[in-house]
Structures are given as C-alpha cells and as structure tokens.
Amino acid sequence: MAEYHGQIQLALAGFYDVLTAEGTLFRTRARGNFRKKDLKPLVGDWVTFSAQTSKEGYILAIDQRKNSIVRPPVANVDQVIVVTAVKMPDWSSNLLDRQLVALEEKNIEPVIYFTKTDLLTREETASFADIVAGYREIGYQVVWPDEAFDETSLKTVEKLLGDKLTVLMGQTGAGKSTLLNHLSPELNLATGEVSQALSRGKHTTRQVSLIALYGGLVADTPGFSAFEVFDMPARELGQYFRELNDYASNCRFRGCVHLNEPNCAVKEAVSQGEIMASRYENYKLFYDLIAGRRPVYNKHDKKH
C-alpha cells in the first residue's frame, strides 16, 4: 500500500480529506491507536497516510504542530483575523485583549478587523481613531473600513492571505461570516443575526474545512472564541502584552509584574500615556483573574 504526505483540508464525521503536494485529494480515516493516545487529527495538520484508492486511506502519523486552536479546531495557524464589532454587539476592549493575549500565547499573529464602523457617530469615530492608533502603535495590523466591507479594506485582507493559513475569529454577530462572504461570494456562508435583546447571536456554522483563497488557505468555519480561560501563570501574563514586554526590561526589579512594585517602567509609561490605559486596566483584570484561581481541596481529604 502506497504512503503519502499531505495536509488535512476537511474534517467531517470521522473522515479527513487530505491534499498532497501534487494536488491529489484523498479521503482518509484515523487509525484507532490515535484514540488510545488521545490524539485527534485536526484540519491543518500535516499527516502521513497510506491509501489504495483516493477514497480509502488511513492516517498513520501526524507531524508535529506549530500550534492549534480549539474553536474552530485547526492546527498550524499562521494568522487570525480578529473580527471586532464597534457596535451591535457593543465594543469591548476586554474581549479584544483576551483574544490577543490568547493568540500571543500560541504565537499566532493577530490582525484586527473592525466591523460596523458605519454605525458610529462622527464623535464616536473620532474617539475610536485613538484606539486604532494605539493598537497600531503596539505593532498590530488594524483594518478600519470607512464603509462596511469597502473595497480598500477587502483588498488589504486579500493581500494578507497569500501563503498563510488564516482563521477568522470573534464574537458571534461581529461579522465573520459576512467578511468571508465578501472575500469569496461563492462560499455563501449562513450569517448569524444578532439578537438585539440579548446581543447574542445564533451559531450558524458546523463543519471545518480549508478553502484556497488569494494564494492562501482560510478556515471557512469562523471561530466563536470568547477565551474565558488563560493557561499561563499570572507572572507570565505580561509577556503576552507586547508593549508591557517592551518596557519591562527597564523595571527596577527583575520579575516585576507591574502592579505594586516601586520604580516600575510599565506603570511610568502608562502614566505618561505611552501605554494605552485600557490595555493596562485589562492586564490588571486578567492578572487578578489568573491569580485568583485557587486549587479546590476536598474537605474530606484534610489531614488531622
């Protein structure tokens, strides 16, 4: 039986469609020993598989992943476009910073794409200009459309897709599926209507697959990630805020966590307006959230 190497393009009901470098698509299944090892192939995985025909293959091994995300379940992601609404659902710097920290921790490059910008008043647009400038200053690529999904912003995204595996992520109702539909009208993804009463959307997407788009691959199931959980210890959180990291080497104490320590370069930069106040506030909130998690001990296990 011949052995091949390729990348998983589609995962559906226990079947995995794998595309080889030669451009041949094979339908495969995972061997049972993956289940025993608690290892599940993901879309985006590079795999070795054996096959007698294009419809009957078996995955033998999964190459080491450079990263993976949970929602949607995709491996070897190069960048995530974080689709962020400025209204309906309401703008939240807390949610955006959660997403950025989670992506930084996985070493995935974020791109921020703001939606619903045409719903803002002139005054709101002016105040958002500072927010956009702040994130750009940190080093993030920010796409700010003058009009919803205008040609300039779509062209910017198209250029970003080449030679990369990209995932779209953001709150339900922020416009992920709409953005994908604009980039590739033939996709015709179902878009979720935002419930105005609850500002919650309906999940409209099910399977995960990669589609070839503008010289790259895009996961056509947008992620619903709200990122409630941070995996890192509280002391390491600052590493995932780029601008805090930039100033940390000037702090008086090595291992400074930028909260109550004297001669902290980060707190000084915040007071001078060199670090966005909203980012620092979110850092403190996240730090408290992580530090506040205590191990739960069973009452009956106490030693007398």
Binding-site residue positions for GTP? 115-118, 170-178
Cβ–Cβ under 8 Å, residues 102 and 227: yes
Q: Which of 44, 40, 22, 43 is nearest to 32 (CA)?
A: 40
Range list of H helices, the chain: 32-36, 93-105, 122-138, 151-161, 176-183, 242-248, 265-271, 277-291
Bridge partners of residue 218, in order along the sequence:
166, 211
Residue 165 Rama label (left phi>0; alpha psi -120 to 50; beta): beta
Q: Give the whole-angstrom CA distance, residue 244 versus residue 65.
A: 28
**Angle between helix 277-291 and 122-138 (nearest 10):** 70
Structure tokens belonging to residue 276: 């966005």
Amino acid at 59: I
64: phi then psi, degrees, rounded to nearest 5? -60, 135
Binding residues: 115-118, 170-178, 251, 256, 258, 264
Annotated binding site for Zn(2+): which residue ranges? 251, 256, 258, 264
* Residues, the chain: 304
